Structure 1
Amino acid sequence: MAFNLESFMLIFQLTFYFILLLSLNLYIPKSVTATKLGNETDKLALLDFKSKISDDPFGVLASWNKSFPFCQWVGVTCGLKHQRVVSLHLHNQKLVGTISPHVGNLSFLRSFNLAINSFHNEIPSEVGCLFRLREFNLSNNLLQGEIPVSLSRCTKLINLQLGYNLLKGRVPFELGTDIGLVLPNLQILVLTHCQFSGPIPASLSNASDSLLLGFGENNPMLQILFFLILSFYGNRLRGDSDFLTSLTNCSKLRILDISLNQFGGILPTSIVNLSSQLTWLMLGGNNFGGNIPPEISNLFNLNVLVMSTNLLWGNIPASIGKLSKLHGLYLAVNQLTGEIPFSLGNLTQLLTLNLRLNNFSGSIPSRTCKIGNLQSTVEIYVSNNKLSSEIPSTLGRLFALQRLHMHGNLFEGSIPPLNGLKGLRYLDLSRNNLSARFPQYLETFSSLIYVNLSFNNLDGEVPSQGIFQNATAVKLQGNINLCEGIPDLHLKPCLVQKHKKGSYLKLILLIVIPFLFLALAMVFLSVQLIRKMKMKRPSLTSVGQFHPKISYQELLNATGGFSSGNLIGSGSFGVVYTGTLCPEGTNVAVKVLKLSQCRASKSFMVECRALSNIRHRNLVRIITACSSIDFGRNDFNALVYEFMPNGSLEHWLHPENGHTQLRNLDLLQRIKIAIDVASALHYLHKKCEARVIHCDVKPSNVLLDNDFTAHLSDFGLARLLSKSGIEAVLSQFNSVGVMGTTGYTAPEYGMGARMSTHGDVYCYGILLLEMFTGKRPTDKSFSDDLNLHNSVKMALPVLVTEVVDQFLLTEGMQEAQSSIGSSSNHRNECIECLTSILEIGIACSAESPSDRMDIKDVEYRLLSIRGKFIGPRRHH
């Protein structure tokens, strides 16, 4: 029995060891095989990822070949234990392509970073297979579509950054009833500057204090993961002010940024109950109304307060002066009233103060406020308000100040001594009532790059050193008593002081007076002779002197009998046909006057006289004129113009229904056209022998030649302002009636005001806004008090991307990038350029004529904007 038991035990032990050994032998090869298969899967996934890259300008994927183990490829990191891919980092490598769905096979991947490239199309849903993923960063690309719901399976995800893409849809918190149940470890979620829409989910305010929700890419708080930061900057989210109330539960909130969205409602007083740790509060570019609550001082840790471009009203509460840590105060483009509070002088750490485009009145507080205490301030914007009294001299103590913009107010008196502002770069005091002597000390400011003192009542000599050596950087027009300066400023010479020696003065008088009488006599005789010659000259001689006359029969033949097939346009006083003159074969445009309409004959005569003497490369050229009778013995008057093969700007901005032509004028082309039209108006207003007012500047009157050079046409609405008979001409115009086109006509014309160059500037401003927004001033979307001017004004500067023609930010930008190479800054440059142009359009189309820009300034500003925009591209 014992023997049998021992034998059994021996057999059992041998059997056990044999099975154990066999299992070990089987296990080791399987493990090795699995590792090899996993490695091969990772390699194939990476190669497929590479195959989807269409452009690799830096050659970072050149190492992705058989010569190197894939764990040594650029951007790839493998784990030490299993040699599986755990990190794929190709940040800011200018790669172009799509994201391969095979990345879902990188099952050990923990960090995936493709930020600041040009990946497009959608995010593949296969990324949901990366269950070990902790960091997923695809920000600053061109990705489209919605965020894949499959990401909810990546439960270990800590950092998800998808900002600055073309993603759309709702904010993806509907992945579950509570975001914490789906992505329990999420700490960073960046969704800035996408196209998300819809309301903010109510569950958001219940998020844990460890959650970090979006911010700008350069935010210094990026690495602080233990505070709550909420930012949905630059989307299309909507909701009422109750959303702000719900955030009072977030006890550790540090940054709140919901700028550039569609939130609205009355600003709740409960906003003052937000976390006392709040440092950034940014609500700009929305539709919040109401007063700024005085209890805002409860947020005593605020560094930045942004409420610009809303509908806020009332006064700035005096308690705002208690925010002693404030670095930036932005309240621009609202409906705030009252005086600027004295307490602002307590904000000694303030870097930027922006109160422009409100209705503030009164004076800049100086004594009580001690504005000179703001010695850290770098920028002050109080322009376009109703501030009055004198500019305080204590501004001269702000030694750090670089920008001082106080234009468009009612300041009076002299410009105070600002000698302490040696670092000042931009100074704009234009469009006020400043008087007294010109501030000579400004020529010693070596940092100045722009000075605008135009439209004041300054007098005296303008210096010719320092900034005043550069006429393009100095604006002085509208000060009729200024003199001297460099020749490019075109100022009158200063009067010579009387010589002390009386005998010398008498000698000069004895020599000058006889010559003066002789010169006056010669001028008188010349005027009489010219007047007699004009009386003998027939009405159309001036036209015929430069252009050959043409008969009705020739025009009939040239236009195919004025056939409807040759009809290319129709206006208030005439129709336009295209035709070909024989025998030269010259293509022309023939404008036939509608004599059935009242005053058409007068319009024709005025246009003939004006166009015969006007020559400018941006004005349509008249070839000849015809004043005859047709075969039915009816009066016939026509003007023959140079033909413009690219038609009118109207057809390019607003193609007719069913027309195959696309709106493909890119940004630079539109800037060039805008400059051309401004140049034409500058010539008409300032450089003609007799000043000309156009009265009907609109897209259909802007014609484009082969090179898309713009030519302003249709002077049927123009009137000449004779220097010797302005009142007579104006009264004649008023008897004729107000001319213009609905939407472009200056508002003062509707109230019986006489025509002026200010009216042309208004038309031009509306034209400029139409060119860069793509909307007519009569667009159906405008109702009540909303019009093209107001809608753009409300959007600037933070919502500029919402109002501009989207072609300029999509196809147009892509065309520019393809021609000059991709640039991460290109979109920002486009937006900055468009903002500057629309600001000019707003200034030109101001309701009050005195507030509008001078057309000469418009031309210079546009040339400057174009130069700044194409400068880096010329280098590329």
Structure 2
Amino acid sequence: MPKLQEFYMKGNNLTGSVPSSIGNLSSLEVLFLSENNLGGSIPQVLGRLTNLQIIALASNILSGTIPSSLLNLSSLAVFDIASNRIQGTLPVGIGFKLPNLEFFGVWQNQLDGPIPPTISNCTKLDLLQLSFNRFYGKVPSLEKLHKLRKFLFTDNQLGSGKPEDLSFLCSLTNSTKLEMVWGERNKFAGVLPKCIGNLSTTLAGFNFRENQITGEISGEIGKFVNLKYLFMGSNQLLGVIPSNLGTLQDVGILELGDNNLGGTIPTSLGNLTKLVGLDLGSNNFYGQIPSHLSNCQSLNILDLSNNHLSGAIPPQLMGLSSLTIILNLSCNHLIGVLPTEVGNLRTLTVLDISNNLLVGEIPNSLGYCTTLTSLRMGGNFFNGSIPQSIKSLRGIEELDLSHNNLSGQIPKFLAVFPFLKLLNLSYNKFEGILPCEGVFKNATNTSIIGNNELCGGLPEFHLPNCISKSSKNTKINIMILFASVISGVLGIALILAFIYLRWFKKKVNEPISSSMDDSYPKVLYGALLKATDGFSSANLIGVGSFSSVYKGILEDNGTAIAVKVLHMIRHGAMKSFIEECEALKNIKHRNLLKILTVCSGSDYQGNDFKALVYQFMDNGSLEWWLHQNATSSHGNELPKKLNFIQRINIAIDVAYALDYLHHQCHIPIVHCDLKPSNILLDAEMVAHVGDFGLVKFLVESSHDTIVNQMSSVGLRGTIGYAPPGCEVSREGDMYSYGILLLEMFTGLSPIDNTFQDNLTLHNLVAEALSKRVLEITDNVLLQERESHLGPIVLNIGFAKAMAYFKSVWLWCSILELLVRTVCLEDE
């Protein structure tokens, strides 16, 4: 058929190879053989068909390499061999030989090597699809591709981990019709160049997730008014989310999870009314969840997990009925109850609120979420029983209620859930008979450990046998008979015991006062509940591993207090409570945080309640003063900063406290967790060392070694402040003190994201001491020197002013002393 121009055989079940006789179709312009089962290689004879404009061989099982003869087809506009097994490299001269290419699709093959720089000469390219291959090296300049609409190169090995990896983006500013740049899962490093703000406003998709990109998210992205997809997750991005992202009215998916982003979640994201998916998980966001997110009425997926978010869950957000796929708020510091509005999530598939500080009962309205397949609520403080409404969740496949305060019997309906595969009820207060049907037949996928009142079940659960009703009746009869014999003796004993218990009960109900002076107020749970307005999130001033701290006002005398409430469900909380009480009962010093009393008992639900009540410190923690940002001040008030003299005084106060603990106590005490957040400042800016939950008591041996009497030997403290590879000792505290001083005078935190790999605050200062000391000096001290020079000269004279400012540089000597002695890692 020498006059045949178009040959279509798409979407059949053709097998075998492409016959070489096809090279005889001298008039052929279109060859369309996609979506078959053709194998073998691409015939070289295709290079003889000089009229060919379209070669479409996608979705077959072709192998071999791209024939060099195809470079003879100067009229070729479409070359599509996607989804095959083609190997080798792209022809080097492709841009010179195929100038009319508009569609070049080679995705999902086994091609490797670099992208030929000549590709930029294919000036008519509309789509360049290179994804799912093994291309490597630098992406060349694409400055001549003025008509390029889509550039897709995901799942390759492009980039070299160097800062200039993304420079090719600047060459795309000439592509005035650009809609998509898709480069996820490569090896790109460096920061996003500022030139991306010059990309076409037609840009609809920008995807560079799963690379090694650093730096901040450029506010230039806010210019892309037509952007619909922004994927930048799984990189190493820093800083905050630019507020102008809220102007991108057409964005449907915003994915920034698994980075090092921080700050608060901008309320402006609530303006993204077309948002379908929002992923901010695995970052360092803090503050409350913005209720404005409830304005995103199209949201299907919301992931805010693994951050430092606090406060209550906004009822408006929990009632967002558009959430149909995932709502993940796990691993934060969220408090309060689970809003009853959760019942509005009737089409939600996955709900994860695990590992927070949520309290109260599981709301009955949860039973309306009938499409749930995964419900994770473990690691909270939920109490009460599992509501009967949960039996409506018949499609549930995974249910995790572990590590709560749930009680009552395990509902029988859990045994008849047809799809339930994973069930975790461990570490609660369930009682009664364990079912033997359904998921309870599989001891591997069902966990009930830590419920000491359960009985029965399969032998694999190792629970005691349940006592039958008849056995109980027999025991009761024996006990009645026995009681009747000795009733007279017991009657007298009971009368005496009653009198004694009435006296003893009065003693027991008094709050524990760990060495606390009789002059200290005696407070009960109810008084603390009232003082903190029901432990309201508005009064929450800090959250730690084992506790939450609330500000309160005692009703009796108006005393301002800080109430440290232990999370008794957390492993190690009781140990921390005991150690802190033990440490505080025999120490008293001006520079140690003053404890008023200890409350130990039960809350109104019968759960263990333990709290330490301290004097409230008006000026908060040293960490807030050193690292507050402009947004943390109130109204138009400028952020407060510590001057040089205040820092010196605080350093001296902490030194006094350490000297007292190490050398003046009857038994030497090592603090083990010295850091700015554990140093509190009163109204006069006097420093007080607090948080004794990790202390150790020491006994000196004849060889001056230290033996721990409270807990196992090992590394304690906070990364960045704890001495590297060092067991607990006075020297360890001094190391932490040295790091603290470096932080106070440089303004740099040792746990800042700047310090990675082998770079630490200590060696940064050590390198800068000789020539670059001003570069690492806290800017506040430098500004103080400039802004106060005039007033000081006027008030105290020039000579005294110079003496004052010489003292500002005294910290350089302090740094040098620390680096050369206390902080040297080899000493």
User: So what's the TM-score if we normalise by structure 1?
Assistant: 0.47
Greater helix percent: which structure? 1
TM-score w.r.t. the length of structure 2 is 0.50
